[in-house]
Amino acid sequence: MCITTKSYLKNCGSSLGHHYIVEIYGCKNIEVLNDLEFIRSMMIEAAYRCGSTIIGNVFHQFEPVGITGVVAISESHLSIHTWPEYAYAAIDVFTCGTTVDPDLAISYIVETLNGIPLTMKIDRGMPLLF
């Protein structure tokens, strides 16, 4: 859980959380980008693999194609938005604390969708260090 106290920051390093934005281009598994249950299962598995505590999930199938979804975790969230017509998926992995390894979730998703990732990392809450 994200806690905004100085003792938390002392134990967790220089930020409150880490937010990864992952662009996955050229997904080879195009058909799964429009398979709601596959995407839901993949995202839940990614949350388990990184060591997070799942507290809920919501996914939606768009017409004619595409999926959006989020797995809420005690440590923040994992989300996905797919565009099968472009063989593209946008992923967010935002984690707080020291017990979760977001790289494990990201690696699993990228391998499963079999695409080319571009990953950006933002350390969240750094201005709160006073």
Q: Specify whether the backbone of 110 is left (phi greater than 0), alpha (psi in -120 to 50) or beta.
A: alpha
Question: Catalytic pick from 18, 76, 77, 79?
Answer: 76
Catalytic residue check, 76: yes
Question: Catalytic pick from 12, 15, 81, 107?
Answer: 81
Catalytic residue check, 52: no
- Residue 72 half-sphere exposure toward CB, CA atoms < 13 A: 6
Question: Catalytic pick from 19, 50, 52, 96?
Answer: 96
Catalytic residue check, 18: no
CA pair distance 8, 13, nearest whole angstrom:
8
Catalytically active residues, by annotation: 76, 81, 96
